[in-house]
Structure 1
């Protein structure tokens, strides 16, 4: 007999479980590219806001600076990103996505789009719109910086 976890009636619990499922789905979809969702998240941010420092990316994405250094090291090792000295402040580095990184991001958009389409296929377009709107309202209400950026 299959039983649901005791907290399964809580909306927050359900959202966490859906988030876990979507992260696993994303990781599986991105595996052929040799990257993880967090790598794509960093590269998408770097592409959206050209000329960011590691500190800027860390603050914007809420990633611990030490963790971000490792992510950027991974991206550099794969040839997807490079650090360049900031011409205005030689003590700082700006991080840029390379052509290979841009190609990986383009491929990831296709892979992630297909994975999400499959996951959300049980919902019709109106239901997807409601979910998008509700999640937008919650994020805007509880993360004030959400409304200030396009991430």
Structure 2
């Protein structure tokens, strides 16, 4: 059988994606919502428009996600005092705790997924995946978010 690294990566990605989805859903949240919270936890308060660009989602889809996150007390929006037309989005303390819990769940899933690899192999794999991601281009997340499929968590 001919070697097909892309196919092997796609199948491995499906398995990893399902495990990550399970880890996220265990906390009662959708992948796209978790992605928003993770970006906010990493970047801090940010403009709503800039957040949509970072996530690669349509601004109207982001509004719907933010509405749900606000209703759950996980994020908050406020008007920018310097420009009243602009909204600033920030993760709440409850959202920050949830992201920590989600990362713990993902770490458990990763430990199981990569248990056959030693630390050096895992480091090489991680570096190669980063290279593939940065050189291969990334499609928009719009379709993935509507289907709640694994995204770039």
Which structure 2 residue ranges, 5 or more long, are not aligned?
139-152
Partner in structure 2 of residue 111 of structure 1: 105
Partner in structure 2 of residue 147 of structure 1: none
Instruction: State how far apart, in whole Å, the 1-side matches of 2:109 and 2:83 are.
Output: 41
User: Which is worse superposed, 30-39 or 84-93?
Assistant: 30-39
Q: Which segments of structure 1 move beyond 6 Å, counting only runs of 4 or more? A: none
* Greater helix content: 1
Shift of 1:87: 1.1
RMSD: 2.2
Across the two proteins, how many residue pairs are aligned to each other? Answer: 139
Q: Check if 1:38 corresponds to 2:32.
A: yes
Shift of 1:40: 2.0
User: Which is worse superposed, 37-46 or 99-108?
Assistant: 37-46
Q: Deviations over 1:11-70 (max 9, x none)?
A: 222222222222211121122311123222211211222221221111112122222222
Partner in structure 2 of residue 91 of structure 1: 85
- With the length of structure 1 as denominator, give the TM-score of the two structures: 0.81
Aligned equivalent of 1:61, options 52, 55, 65:
55
Higher normalized contact order (CA 8 Å, seq sep 6+, divided by chain length): 2
Shift of 1:126: 1.8
Instruction: State how far apart, in whole Å, the 2-side matches of 1:17 and 1:82 are.
Output: 37
- With the length of structure 2 as denominator, give the TM-score of the two structures: 0.80
Instruction: State how far apart, in whole Å, the 1-side matches of 2:9 and 2:83 are.
Output: 42
Instruction: State how far apart, in whole Å, the 1-side matches of 2:111 and 2:133 are.
Output: 22
Q: Which has the larger radius of gyration?
A: 1
